[in-house]
């Protein structure tokens, strides 16, 4: 039995052919993009399609999420923010001091 494709907002995948996305093959990029640009309904669709442990592992190992989304992702997967790779990488490479 094949799972029904998740219904994501097209603005998340603005730079790709939305109908050609292979949700099983490109699961890492899909999950990262949903957590980077999605809203609550997109998160729900992601959890309906993918296994909770798979989502957790992808988010823990993501190289980049915007700062505000990093904290949100930590809450959604119920893990401390310092366990997320994107948070650690941001701490190791601080930007210029904002004057």
- Find where tokens 């039995």 sit: 1
pTM, to two decimals = 0.88
Region 2-22: what's the mean pLDDT? 89
pLDDT band at 84 (very low <50, low <70, confident <90, very high): very high
Reported as a single tens digit per residue, the pLDDT across 22-79 is: 999 999 999 999 999 999 999 999 999 999 999 999 999 999 999 999 999 999 999 9
pLDDT at 42: 95
**Nearest in space to 39 (alpha carbons), one of 19, 68, 2:** 68
Phi-psi region of 54 (alpha: psi -120 to 50; beta: other; left: phi over 0): alpha
Instruction: Name the pLDDT band for 99 (thresholds 50, 70, 90).
Output: low
């Amino acid at each position: 039995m094949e799972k029904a494709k998740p219904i994501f907002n097209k603005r998340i995948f603005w730079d790709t052919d939305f109908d050609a996305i292979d949700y099983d093959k490109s699961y890492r990029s899909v999950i990262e993009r949903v957590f980077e640009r999605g809203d609550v309904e997109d998160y729900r669709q992601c959890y309906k399609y993918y296994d909770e442990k798979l989502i957790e592992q992808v988010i823990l190992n993501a190289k980049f999420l915007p700062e505000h989304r990093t904290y949100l992702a930590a809450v959604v997967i119920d893990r401390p923010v310092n366990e997320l790779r994107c948070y650690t990488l941001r701490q190791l490479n601080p930007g210029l001091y904002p004057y």
